[in-house]
Amino acid sequence: MDLHHKETTSGEILPVVIIGNGPSGICLSYLLSGYAPYLSAEGCHPNPLLHSKLSERPHLSLLEQDLEYLCEGLEGRSSNPVAVLFDSLLLPDSDFGLDHTSPLEWRYEPERAVPHLVLGKGPPGGAWHAMEGSMLTLSLANWMELPGLKLKDWMRDKRRNVRNDRATPAEIASYYEHYVSKMNLEQNFACGTTVTAVTRESGQQDGSPPCWRVSGLQRRDGEILGDGCSVTEEVPFSLLAHKVVLATGTHDVPARLGVDGEALPFVCHSFWELEAAIARGELDQSSDPVLVVGAGLTAADAVLAAHHLNTSVCHAFRRSVTDPGLIFNQLPKLLYPEYHKVHQMMTQQQHQSDTSDRTQNLQPAPSSSSSSPSSYPGYLSFPCHRVAAFRPDRKCVLESDSGEQTVVRVSKALVLIGAHPNLSFLRDNGRSLGINPDEPISCRRNPIDVDPFTNRVLAADGPGMYAMGPLVGENFVRFLKGGALAIAGDLWKRRSGGEDAVTLDSRVDRRTDARVLDS
């Protein structure tokens, strides 16, 4: 969609603008396009209390029901109650490995549709298009799917042999892009857009109400040159919206250590930089070790990629290998054998302290020399260590919790400790919207503070701002769908007057007052 023509309509105020076209934005677009979930006539939920509540008003869609009432008593692997509710309805008892049929049925009711626009930098699917294409995703395939299109069925059409219940990031990205087309959502998506500012506009003297202004740039193919190539140009746009939804995800800005030498050219902050170095032939079994910093899944992928090349790996991380908060201690071994292998490596081949300042220069032994399945030549882990400094001579200073330092010569260092969202289009990068306004927004440590049953941002500059997905602490696709239900339900109730706006506003006001008292 060309946004340049959108802004030429004088005074037009869009009902909803969604910033971010990943699975969060796609799922919300589906609900706002007139698709509504109901308890089906044959539907039966394994939780008798929840089923009883749903049966009280089966003629009403979930969008019209009291989500707070339905959420009471439910428990799950998310701290957001509507996320637990919707996940329980879409995938009943899936945490126990059961494959119950969802009690919901989806009805297309075009009279429910809310005109909206979804903005994204790339094609629908968001950051999934930038992820490494061969590694398997952490989540089971059905946890990654969106309402109305079974991912397993789609995958079977794309490849003959489905190895297991997990998919690759490339498959997931392709699925999300296909989903937008299959569900006829394409007219709501404006791709190639970068939002540069979101500001609150006061009401005008002509009686127009206060609203949000969303400004940015959109990439467009320009003049065709003599060689047949087109020149890409960025055209500014400016839109007005009654409601704005923040759904940008958190993969935009890699987190940094903040230590000396981190800007040196051999220090990288993304898995893709490792891939590029491998593609250029810069790493092999004769290379100095690769230092991987971090204990998340991306760090584990980097360990596996380097180990596959027989390149030595030094692996430094802050936690102990037995810390229950370590992601590897939360994953079933049978479902995630490759990550279990990394955890074995981290546990069995730990650095043993010797002297307080020595240079460790690992060289990999031939893989054929491994006589035990638990032996991983060329790998050494440094639990409870942090990076103290990077030196220009490619030496990295690692420091243990006890203060002991080890110097390691490396070929490359990969700092893979997470990422932060890019909210540069908001004042002060959106800090004031977080649970702790003094800290930057972070999915894990400081998500945006929202009402749990509507996802309305509590500290926004005005009414009508929502947030969802990783920005509110939901890292997994299976749970971010709850944010879409909360937002769509709130918009429908306000539009229809079902649960009156005064009640909704008072709920948010009470939470805002409590937030002020706690600060």
DSSP 377-442: TTEEEETTEEEEEE-TTSEEEEEETTS-EEEEE-SEEEE-S-EE---TTSGGGGGGGBSSTTS--B
In this structure, what are the phi and psi dihedrals at residue 69, rounded to the nearest 5 degrees? -65, -45
pLDDT band per the 50, 70, 90 thresholds, residue 368: very low
In the predicted model, is pLDDT for residue 515 greater than 60? Answer: no
Q: Write out pLDDT tens, residues 98-131.
A: 567 889 999 999 999 999 999 998 888 777 756 6
Q: Which pair of tokens denotes residue 25?
A: 């934005």
CB count within 10 Å of CB 99 equals: 10
Asked if residue 476 lies in contact with residue 330, where contact means CB atoms within 8 angstroms, the answer is no
Q: How far apart are the first and last CA of the chain?
A: 44
Residue 443: how many other CB atoms lie within 10 Å: 21
Can you read off the two tokens belonging to residue 418?
């997470």
Q: Cα dihedral sign for 36, 41, 44, 47? A: positive
Query: How far apart, in Å, are the Cα atoms of 147 and each of 30, 222, 482, 484?
Result: 8, 37, 11, 11
Which candidate, 54, 71, 64, 63, places its Cα nearest to that of 30? 63
> Where on the phi/psi map is residue 322: left (φ > 0), alpha (ψ -120 to 50), or beta?
alpha
SS3 203: coil
- In sequence order, the β-bridge partners of residue 118 are 18, 189
Mean pLDDT, residues 319-329 taken together: 88
Average pLDDT, the chain: 83
pLDDT at residue 303 in the model:
93
CA-closest candidate to residue 82, choices 433, 447, 450 = 450
Coil, strand or helix: which one is 488? helix
- How far is Cα 10 from Cα 55, in angstroms, rounded to an integer? 47
Give the Cβ contact number of residue 198 at 10 Å: 23
Closest by CA position to 361, among listed 344, 380, 346, 375: 380
At 359 the pLDDT is 47
- Mind listing the pLDDT tens digit for each residue in 152-203? 777 777 664 555 566 777 788 888 999 999 999 999 999 999 999 999 988 7
Residue 125: count other Cβ atoms within 10 Å of its Cβ.
25
**Sequence-distant (≥ 6) Cβ neighbours of residue 226 within 8 angstroms:** none
Residues 6 or more apart whose CB falls under 8 angstroms from that of 336 comprise 138
Q: Residue 321's pLDDT is what?
A: 93
CATH class of 4-249+420-497: alpha beta
Output the pLDDT for position 4. 59
- Rounded Cα distance between 54 and 263, Å, is 56
Tokens representing 125?
Answer: 């699917």
Tell me 45's DSSP state: -
Residue-level pLDDT at 164: 56
Does residue 367 carry a pLDDT above 50?
Answer: no
Query: E-assigned strands of 162-229?
Result: 189-190, 193-201, 211-224
Contact by Cβ (8 Å): 277, 288: no
Which of the four pLDDT bands, split at 50, 70 and 90, describes residue 423? very high
Across the range 72-88, mean pLDDT stands at 89
Are the beta carbons of 436 and 492 closer than 8 angstroms?
Answer: no
pLDDT at 98: 59
Burial class (CB in 10 A: 0-12, 13-18, 19+), 172: buried
Q: What is the DSSP letter of 101?
A: P
Q: For residue 268, is pLDDT > 80?
A: yes
Distance, in Å, from the CA atom of 514 to the CA atom of 252, rounded to the nearest integer, reads: 32
The answer on pLDDT for 234 being more than 60 is: yes
- Topology given in CATH for the domain delimited by 256-350+376-417: FAD/NAD(P)-binding domain (3.50.50)
**Residue 300 pLDDT > 60, yes or no?**
yes
- Write the single-letter amino acid at 332: P
Quick one: pLDDT at residue 228?
62
DSSP state of 443: T
Residues whose CB falls within 8 Å of the CB of residue 436, separated by 6 or more in sequence, listed in order: 446
Residue 84's pLDDT is 92
502 pLDDT above the threshold of 80: no
Token couple for 379: 């790998």
Q: How far apart are CA 167 and CA 492, in angstroms?
A: 34
* Nearest-angstrom CA–CA distance, 15 and 293: 45
Intervals of CATH 3.50.50.60 along the chain: 4-249+420-497, 256-350+376-417
